[in-house]
Protein backbone atom coordinates (compact mmCIF):
# COMPACT_ATOMS: atom_id res chain seq x y z
CA UNK A 1 0.00 0.00 0.00
CA UNK A 2 1.33 3.47 -0.89
CA UNK A 3 2.54 5.17 2.30
CA UNK A 4 1.31 8.55 1.06
CA UNK A 5 -2.22 7.26 0.71
CA UNK A 6 -2.65 5.53 4.04
CA UNK A 7 -1.01 4.69 7.30
CA UNK A 8 -1.73 1.91 9.74
CA UNK A 9 -1.05 2.22 13.47
CA UNK A 10 -1.43 -0.11 16.41
CA UNK A 11 -3.30 1.84 19.07
CA UNK A 12 -5.19 1.05 22.20
CA UNK A 13 -7.78 2.48 24.56
CA UNK A 14 -10.02 5.41 23.61
CA UNK A 15 -8.07 6.05 20.40
CA UNK A 16 -9.81 3.03 18.86
CA UNK A 17 -13.00 5.08 18.70
CA UNK A 18 -11.63 7.27 15.88
CA UNK A 19 -10.71 6.53 12.25
CA UNK A 20 -11.38 3.31 10.42
CA UNK A 21 -10.70 0.58 12.95
CA UNK A 22 -10.63 -3.15 13.02
CA UNK A 23 -9.34 -5.70 15.45
CA UNK A 24 -5.98 -7.21 14.62
CA UNK A 25 -5.94 -11.00 14.66
CA UNK A 26 -2.70 -10.72 16.66
CA UNK A 27 -3.32 -10.15 20.35
CA UNK A 28 -6.70 -8.44 19.77
CA UNK A 29 -5.06 -5.04 19.22
CA UNK A 30 -7.06 -2.26 17.64
CA UNK A 31 -5.59 -1.13 14.29
CA UNK A 32 -6.58 2.19 12.71
CA UNK A 33 -6.07 3.00 9.04
CA UNK A 34 -6.04 6.68 8.08
CA UNK A 35 -6.37 7.82 4.47
CA UNK A 36 -4.34 10.84 3.38
CA UNK A 37 -6.19 11.75 0.19
CA UNK A 38 -8.92 14.34 -0.46
CA UNK A 39 -12.44 12.91 -0.75
CA UNK A 40 -13.03 13.91 -4.38
CA UNK A 41 -15.21 11.66 -6.51
CA UNK A 42 -12.78 11.15 -9.36
CA UNK A 43 -9.92 10.41 -6.95
CA UNK A 44 -11.71 7.22 -5.88
CA UNK A 45 -11.62 5.83 -9.40
CA UNK A 46 -8.11 7.14 -10.19
CA UNK A 47 -6.77 5.51 -7.03
CA UNK A 48 -8.55 2.24 -7.76
CA UNK A 49 -7.19 2.20 -11.33
CA UNK A 50 -3.64 2.77 -10.05
CA UNK A 51 -3.76 0.30 -7.17
CA UNK A 52 -6.19 -2.35 -8.40
CA UNK A 53 -6.28 -1.91 -12.21
CA UNK A 54 -6.48 -5.61 -13.00
CA UNK A 55 -9.02 -6.41 -10.27
CA UNK A 56 -12.71 -6.79 -11.03
CA UNK A 57 -14.54 -3.52 -10.37
CA UNK A 58 -18.04 -4.12 -11.70
CA UNK A 59 -20.13 -7.15 -12.42
CA UNK A 60 -22.99 -6.07 -14.63
CA UNK A 61 -25.91 -7.97 -16.11
CA UNK A 62 -24.14 -8.38 -19.45
CA UNK A 63 -20.50 -7.36 -18.88
CA UNK A 64 -17.88 -7.22 -16.18
CA UNK A 65 -15.05 -4.67 -16.03
CA UNK A 66 -11.77 -4.29 -14.19
CA UNK A 67 -10.90 -0.95 -12.63
CA UNK A 68 -8.59 -0.21 -15.58
CA UNK A 69 -11.37 -0.95 -18.07
CA UNK A 70 -13.83 1.16 -16.10
CA UNK A 71 -11.32 4.00 -16.05
CA UNK A 72 -10.91 3.77 -19.85
CA UNK A 73 -14.67 3.80 -20.39
CA UNK A 74 -15.09 6.83 -18.12
CA UNK A 75 -12.32 8.64 -20.02
CA UNK A 76 -14.06 7.86 -23.34
CA UNK A 77 -17.27 9.40 -22.02
CA UNK A 78 -15.41 12.45 -20.71
CA UNK A 79 -13.71 12.97 -24.07
CA UNK A 80 -17.06 12.67 -25.82
CA UNK A 81 -18.54 15.33 -23.55
CA UNK A 82 -15.56 17.61 -24.21
CA UNK A 83 -16.15 17.21 -27.95
CA UNK A 84 -19.68 18.60 -27.51
CA UNK A 85 -18.14 21.93 -26.39
CA UNK A 86 -20.49 22.39 -23.48
CA UNK A 87 -19.37 24.62 -20.63
CA UNK A 88 -18.12 23.71 -17.17
CA UNK A 89 -21.09 23.40 -14.83
CA UNK A 90 -23.58 22.52 -17.59
CA UNK A 91 -26.10 19.79 -16.82
CA UNK A 92 -25.94 16.31 -18.32
CA UNK A 93 -29.17 14.39 -17.76
CA UNK A 94 -29.28 10.60 -17.58
CA UNK A 95 -32.39 8.48 -17.98
CA UNK A 96 -31.20 4.97 -17.22
CA UNK A 97 -31.64 2.22 -14.66
CA UNK A 98 -28.83 1.46 -12.22
CA UNK A 99 -26.38 0.18 -14.81
CA UNK A 100 -22.67 0.32 -15.51
CA UNK A 101 -23.40 3.16 -17.94
CA UNK A 102 -25.08 5.18 -15.19
CA UNK A 103 -22.03 4.74 -12.95
CA UNK A 104 -19.78 5.80 -15.83
CA UNK A 105 -22.01 8.82 -16.28
CA UNK A 106 -21.47 9.97 -12.71
CA UNK A 107 -17.69 9.70 -13.00
CA UNK A 108 -17.42 10.95 -16.59
CA UNK A 109 -19.52 14.08 -16.18
CA UNK A 110 -17.87 15.06 -12.91
CA UNK A 111 -14.41 14.44 -14.37
CA UNK A 112 -14.92 17.22 -16.94
CA UNK A 113 -16.70 19.64 -14.63
CA UNK A 114 -20.27 18.97 -15.72
CA UNK A 115 -23.24 18.30 -13.42
CA UNK A 116 -24.80 14.84 -13.63
CA UNK A 117 -28.57 14.92 -13.28
CA UNK A 118 -30.07 11.45 -12.95
CA UNK A 119 -33.72 11.23 -13.93
CA UNK A 120 -36.20 8.99 -12.15
CA UNK A 121 -37.17 6.12 -14.43
CA UNK A 122 -40.77 6.06 -13.13
CA UNK A 123 -41.94 9.47 -14.33
CA UNK A 124 -44.27 10.44 -17.18
CA UNK A 125 -43.08 12.04 -20.40
CA UNK A 126 -44.45 15.44 -19.37
CA UNK A 127 -42.41 15.27 -16.15
CA UNK A 128 -39.21 14.74 -18.14
CA UNK A 129 -40.05 17.72 -20.34
CA UNK A 130 -40.52 19.93 -17.29
CA UNK A 131 -37.31 18.73 -15.58
CA UNK A 132 -35.13 18.99 -18.69
CA UNK A 133 -36.35 22.53 -19.37
CA UNK A 134 -36.07 23.54 -15.73
CA UNK A 135 -32.48 22.32 -15.28
CA UNK A 136 -31.50 23.59 -18.75
CA UNK A 137 -29.79 20.31 -19.58
CA UNK A 138 -27.35 20.46 -22.48
CA UNK A 139 -27.07 16.69 -22.96
CA UNK A 140 -29.54 13.86 -22.45
CA UNK A 141 -28.39 10.24 -22.29
CA UNK A 142 -31.23 7.73 -22.56
CA UNK A 143 -31.07 3.97 -22.09
CA UNK A 144 -32.49 2.27 -25.19
CA UNK A 145 -35.18 0.51 -23.13
CA UNK A 146 -36.37 3.83 -21.69
CA UNK A 147 -36.33 5.81 -24.95
CA UNK A 148 -40.12 5.44 -25.41
CA UNK A 149 -40.55 7.53 -22.24
CA UNK A 150 -38.93 10.61 -23.80
CA UNK A 151 -39.71 10.07 -27.47
CA UNK A 152 -43.08 11.92 -27.26
CA UNK A 153 -41.44 15.06 -25.85
CA UNK A 154 -38.36 15.32 -28.06
CA UNK A 155 -40.09 17.72 -30.44
CA UNK A 156 -40.85 20.03 -27.49
CA UNK A 157 -37.27 20.24 -26.20
CA UNK A 158 -35.22 23.29 -27.16
CA UNK A 159 -33.08 22.77 -30.25
CA UNK A 160 -30.51 25.33 -29.14
CA UNK A 161 -27.85 23.07 -27.80
CA UNK A 162 -29.50 19.99 -26.31
CA UNK A 163 -27.72 16.86 -27.50
CA UNK A 164 -29.57 13.57 -27.26
| Statement to judge: residues 93 and 55 lie in one domain | yes
Task: Provide the domain count of the chain.
Answer: 2
| pLDDT for 74 | 96
- Same domain? 53 vs 131: yes
Q: What is the mean pLDDT for each group of 10 consecutive residues in the chain (164 residues)?
A: 46 47 52 64 87 93 93 96 90 94 94 95 96 93 95 84 59
Q: Is residue 164 part of a domain?
A: no
Give the C-alpha separation, 71 to 53, whole Å. Answer: 9
* Residue 25 and residue 88 in one domain: no
Please tell me the predicted confidence (pLDDT) of residue 23: 47
Q: Give the span between the Cα atoms of 30 and 21, in whole angstroms.
A: 7
Q: Can you count the helices (H) and strands (E) in the chain?
A: 5, 8
Q: What is the pLDDT of residue 16?
A: 47
At a CB cut-off of 8 Å and minimum separation 6, what does 155 contact? none
Q: Is residue 85 located within the same domain as residue 144?
A: yes
pTM for the whole structure: 0.73
Same domain, 55 and 23: no
CATH number, residue 108? 3.40.50.980
- In this prediction, residue 93 carries a pLDDT of 96
User: Are residues 98 and 24 part of one domain?
Assistant: no
For position 27, what pLDDT does the model report?
54
Q: Are 87 and 127 part of one and the same domain?
A: yes
The reply to whether 10 and 66 lie within a common domain is: no
Are 19 and 72 members of one domain? no
User: Is the domain of 21 the same as that of 102?
Assistant: no
The domain containing residue 30 runs over which residues?
6-35
Amino acid sequence: MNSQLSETKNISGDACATGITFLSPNEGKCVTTVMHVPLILTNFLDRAVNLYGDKLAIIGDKNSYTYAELGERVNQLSNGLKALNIEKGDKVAYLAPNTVEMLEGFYGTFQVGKVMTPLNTRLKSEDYLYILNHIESKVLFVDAELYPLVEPILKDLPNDGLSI
